[in-house]
Structures are given as structure tokens and as C-alpha cells.
Structure 1
Amino acid sequence: MKIKRLQDVIGTERDVNAENGHWVSRRLLLAKDGMGFSMHDTTIFAGTETYIHYANHLEAVYCVAGRGEIEDLETGVTTQIEDGILYALDGHERHYLRATEDMRMVCVFNPPITGREVHDDKGVYPLITE
């Protein structure tokens, strides 16, 4: 059994801030934890817009606080995000994530990320294996 406490992750190498200052992601579970997925506690900061395209990963995101929206660039549909909303990027959708308030999100990635990934200029995390 694994027990992870958010307060134990903050301030470590698993506490990752976006270079552009748009978000902070606390990586509770990574590939090396051997669960077959990774899980993150992420805050998207109010007033930001982030382009993302997870070409190599599937991601499910559950909002537990705040407000914003996701714009699916494949369909043109924009959906409001708030506490209690989950979205799953099951088709590697290119999207914009915008926060009108700080949004706290629980994010799950498959395959799991290692923690070394950085979004490239196309919004993609490379596929890195342990």
C-alpha cells in the first residue's frame, strides 16, 4: 500500500511549476510508483490560458475547486469547468484550458508520466519510459 500526503510533495522535485507561471502540478503518483498511471493535484491559475495536446497520453481531469473552461479544438466546443466536472481526453484532443478562478484539478495520466516531461512548443508531453 502507498500513502501519499500532498504536504509531503510540496517543495520537492514532484512539485512542478509551469515555466510560464500558468499552473503548478503536485505529482502524487509517477511511473516509478508502479501503478500503471500517474496522479497529480494541479492548480490552474486564474486569468491564464494554456494550449495542450497530449498526443502520447490519455488524461482524465476532475475539478474539485474553481471555475474555467476547456475549448476542444477538434470540435470547436467550449465547456464550462467547475467543482464536480470531469473531462477525459480520450482522443488526444488539442485544447485550450482557461481559468477564470484558480482551478484545483485531480489529473490522471495513462501511460504514467515520469515527472521529467515538459510541454513542447506544440503543447505535447514526450513519451518517456522508466
Structure 2
Amino acid sequence: MAEEPNGAAERIRDALAYVCRQLDVLSAVLPENDEASPLRRLLEAMRNGEDPDRPLQALHTALLAAGDHIGVYGNRGIRPVGVDDGAEETVYLCPAHRCSRYSWPAATVDPPQCAITEQPLRRDGL
């Protein structure tokens, strides 16, 4: 990603996390079978290591036009609070360090996979 103020970079990471978590839903709303599809352009940009800012904006605009009132930039949830007892808590994060997606580990499940790059999320500690 290009150098941006922290707020803009965080906004992009949050939007990418939303796309990663909701890829199946977004694919149903905006199928990626058309080369002009904003979703397809974003996925290709991410897989090629390109700056996602413009493709994200195009996807956001397409979602608004399709009736989604907050697009990819809306606030859809809460952020986890760190553990304050000194113990390290495990969390899975974006494998490319490009989005703010996180997932808590489940005892019987392998690490979740990034829907965009198809790589396993990286294990980290809080």
C-alpha cells in the first residue's frame, strides 16, 4: 500500500478485513465472473500485491449502488480488547499484514484461511 496517514491505512485494512470475512456474500451480490467486476479487480490487485485503494473504492461504490447502505467502509462490529493479566492470547491475523481481519483460534480447527489470497492466517499473540 502507498504511504498514507494512519487513519487511511487503518480504514483500508478494516475494509479488506470485511471483504475477506464476507467474500461469499459479496460474490453473490457482485459476481466476480465479469472482468469489469469491482470485486474481481480487488481480488486480483490483492493477489498481485498491488495497492488496493482504488479497487476498494470501486467495490464500495458498486455495493452502494447495489443497495448496501454502508459499503466496505462501514463500522460493522467491535474490536477485541487485549488481555490485561499478562498472559498471551493467541489470535490469527492477515497473512500479508494488509488487512485488519482477525480470528480467534478454535481447539479443533486448523487456522482459518484468507479468502482473498487463500493463505492460512498467521498466528500471533496479543
Q: Which band: TM-score by shorter chain? A: under 0.3
Higher helix share: 2
Higher strand share: 1
TM-score normalized by structure 2? 0.22
* Larger Rg, first or second structure (1 or 2): 2
